[in-house]
């Protein structure tokens, strides 16, 4: 499903070169649920952005669903983001003036599917809201929702186009532990329904919902272990 080989990302800030990724190899299979962990600045977000087609690697290849994405044009990448990727952000990123339903429908504006009726759009958005158990907050605006509810709207938006991969960069970073559990239950549910999930987190409780944990350090993969072994190692360390 996802195959990353020798991926490097170098940022240039003035004279300085910042090597955010220094040669990452990674394989993600269908219907895996993976946590990406590591210290701050280790390159987690950089890796996620490239996998999410929001950014391009400086070097290396990236294959998504059998297509080499690393050399695509901006417009084609936008299409890939629209159809194959669902992204969940730490700070939700909902449009303040739009209702939950309208926020969820957003990706359809840019969809290639011509001739969707408004009824069909609403049906799909309602279905997505249902899957995150938020069918009773359809016409609320973001400022009328709790943090956990906002993140559920964001997840519904991410899964609307049935993406090949659902990615989340610290989705629970702004939430308390009760709400974190609530959000992780939703990810677990989506995974159970067949969704491939990739989550960046600092929290072991979040990683515990996953099957596999990839740890980064200084732009390299430090370890890539099943969750049980990883958690055991953490306890020892």
Partner 1 sequence: MILSPYFYSQAIKLALSQIWANRKRSLLTALGIIVGVASTTSVIAALSGLKTSVLTEFESFGANRIYVFPDRPDDKPRNLYPREKIRIKPWEVRELQASCPSLRAITPVTEFGVSIASDERELDGITVVGIWPDWHEAENRRVISGRKFNGIDEVGERQVCLLNESAIDELRLPSDAVGSHILVDGRRFLVVGVIETLQARMFGGDSNTAELFIPFSVAIKLQSTEFFLRVVALAKSAEVSEEAKSEIQRTMRRIRGIQPGDPDTFRAEAIDRYIDQFKTLASGITAIAAGIVGISLLVGGIGIMNIMLVSVSERTREIGLRKAVGATPAAIMMQFLLEAMVLCLAGGLVGVIIGKLFAIGLTLIPGARLENADVPMWAVFLSFAFSAAVGLGFGFFPALKASRLDPIEALRHE
Ligand X SMILES: Nc1ncnc2c1ncn2[C@@H]1O[C@H](COP(=O)(O)OP(=O)(O)OP(=O)(O)O)[C@@H](O)[C@H]1O
Q: Which residues bind partner 1 (CB under 8 A)?
A: 49, 52, 54-55, 74-75, 78-79, 81-83, 87, 89, 93, 95, 97, 106-111, 113-116, 118, 121, 157, 161
Gap between the Cα atoms of 31 and 26, Å rounded: 15
What SS3 state is found at 56?
A: coil
- Strands, DSSP E only, in 89-226? 165-169, 196-200, 212-217, 220-226
Exactly one of 32, 34, 37, 42 binds ligand X (CB under 6 A); that residue is 42
Residue 35: in which H helix or E strand, if any?
Answer: strand 33-38
The footprint of Mg ion on this chain (CB under 5 A) covers a number of residues equal to 1
Cα–Cα dist 26/105, whole Å: 32
Based on CB atoms, which residue is closest to Mg ion, 36 or 190?
36
CB of 165 closer than 8 Å to CB of 51: yes
Nearer to ligand X, 70 or 161 (CB): 70
Strand (E) or helix (H) holding 181: helix 177-192
Out of 14, 17, 40, 114, name the contact with ligand X by CB under 6 A. 40
* Residue of the chain from 28, 32, 44, 187 that contacts ligand X (CB under 6 A): 44
Number of chain residues interacting with ligand X (CB under 6 A): 12
- Across-strand partners of 87? 167
Residue with tokens 């702004």: 174
The count of C-alpha atoms lying within 13 angstroms of the C-alpha of 76, restricted to the half-sphere facing its C-beta, is 8
Q: Residue 190 or residue 227: which is nearer to partner 1 going by CB?
A: 190
Give the residue with the Cβ less far from partner 1, 161 or 196. Answer: 161
Return the H-helix or E-strand segment holding 36.
strand 33-38
Q: Least Å distance between CB 54 and ligand X?
A: 12
Which is it for the CA torsion 55, 56, 62, 65, positive or negative? positive
Q: In whole angstroms, what is the distance from residue 142 CA to residue 146 CA?
A: 8
Q: Left (φ > 0), alpha (ψ -120 to 50) or beta: where does 49 sit?
A: alpha
Q: How far is the CB of 211 from Mg ion (least distance, A)?
A: 22
**Binders of ligand X among 6-25, rule CB under 6 A?**
11, 13, 18, 20
Using CB under 6 A, which of 5, 31, 41, 208 touches ligand X? Answer: 41
- Of 114 and 178, the one with the shorter C-beta distance to partner 1 is 114
The residue among 45 and 172 lying less far from ligand X, judged by its C-beta, is 45
Contact of residue 42 among ligand X, partner 1, Mg ion, none (CB under 5-8 Å per partner type): ligand X
Q: Which position's Cβ is nearest ligand X?
A: 45
* 36-95 residues near Mg ion, rule: CB under 5 A: 45
Residue ranges binding Mg ion (CB under 5 A): 45
């Amino acid at each position: 499903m996802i195959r990353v080989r020798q991926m490097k990302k170098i940022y240039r800030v003035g004279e300085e070169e910042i090597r955010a990724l220094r040669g990452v190899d990674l394989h993600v299979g269908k219907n895996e649920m993976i946590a990406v962990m590591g210290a701050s600045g280790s390159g987690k977000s950089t890796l996620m952005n490239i996998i999410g087609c929001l950014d391009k690697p400086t070097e290396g290849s990236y294959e998504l669903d059998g297509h080499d994405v690393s050399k695509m044009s901006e417009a084609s990448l936008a299409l890939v983001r629209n159809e194959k990727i669902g992204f969940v952000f730490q700070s939700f990123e909902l449009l303040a003036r739009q209702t939950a339903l309208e926020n969820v429908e957003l990706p359809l504006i840019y969809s290639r599917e011509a001739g969707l009726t408004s009824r069909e759009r609403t049906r799909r958005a309602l279905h997505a809201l249902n899957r995150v158990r938020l069918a009773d907050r359809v016409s609320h605006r973001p400022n009328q929702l709790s943090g956990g509810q906002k993140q559920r709207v964001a997840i519904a938006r991410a899964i609307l186009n049935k993406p090949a991969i659902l990615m989340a960069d610290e989705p629970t970073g702004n939430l308390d532990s009760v709400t974190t559990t609530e959000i992780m239950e939703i990810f677990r549910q989506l995974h159970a329904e067949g969704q491939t999930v990739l989550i960046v987190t600092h929290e072991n409780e979040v990683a515990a919902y996953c099957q596999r944990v990839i740890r980064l350090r200084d732009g390299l993969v430090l370890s890539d272990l099943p969750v049980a072994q990883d958690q055991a190692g953490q306890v020892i360390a």
